[in-house]
Amino acid sequence: MTGIDFFDVDHTLTRRSSGGRFVSLAMRRKLLPLHLLFILPWYSMTYKLGFFRLRRYDDGFPYLKGIPRAALEGIAEESFETRLKADLFEGAVTLVRERRAQGRRVILATSSIDFIVAPLAEHLGVRDVLATTLEFDHDTCTGRVVGLPMFRREKKERVLAFLAAEGVAPKDCSFYSDSIYDLPLLEEVGRPVAVNPDFRLRKIARERGWSVIDLA
């Protein structure tokens, strides 16, 4: 069976964080509290420096609790059309479309929330998305995550489980990512590709002879 090309989203396909774009617009639309403005820079800085730690807690994303699914999906769609679409690396979009034109199956594998990246997937013509999933009760968000956030080793485990169910060998697949956080999955596939890699991933990619792509 033909292999699969997996793509990370934030800073691989897009210049900025899809979640950050979503939260910023949600605050403007008064769905989320403005004091998040003082929290987001800290998370952004620790993520970029490679020190981000995702702690496990039952509430998941408590600020989203009680918000209807339709409202969240509406913000996600608006965020993509007005902000995230302009953040796309043209070269990354071309790469995705070239892979699809070659008959390859393309899947987004991201720690971002599924409904946030759904408009991006549709724009790229990508049917399958593996992402962090939130729990809904009668179409109202509980704020809790279904399972675990798709981050670091959890992303690797989710992708490997998906491949096993599809009968596809990891050695026949590629994974495109910018982040050292995705090293566990990059080490599993037959063709790891570092796209706009952070300094730690760039060093590892060069040492191991992996492909490196720099997009402007």
The 10s digit of each residue's pLDDT in 40-79 is 554 555 455 455 455 544 457 888 999 999 999 999 999 9
Would you mind telling me the total number of residues written for the chain in this entry?
Answer: 216
Nearest to 128 by CA among 146, 105, 112: 105
Query: Based on the structure, what is the number of domains in the chain?
Result: 1
User: Residue 42: its pLDDT value, please?
Assistant: 47
- Tell me the CATH number at 23: 3.40.50.1000
Decide: 120 and 141 in contact? Cβ < 8 Å: no
**Which residues on adjacent β-strands are paired with residue 191?**
174
Segments forming the whole domain that contains residue 192: 4-213
- Rounded to whole angstroms, the maximal C-alpha distance in the chain is 50
pLDDT tens column, 3-53 = 999 999 999 999 999 998 999 999 999 998 776 665 555 455 545 545 545
User: Would the pTM of this model clear 0.85, i.e. be above it?
Assistant: yes
The DSSP bridge pattern shows strands 105-113 and 4-7 to be parallel
Alpha-carbon dihedral of residues 182, 165, 128, 76, nearest 10 degrees? -70
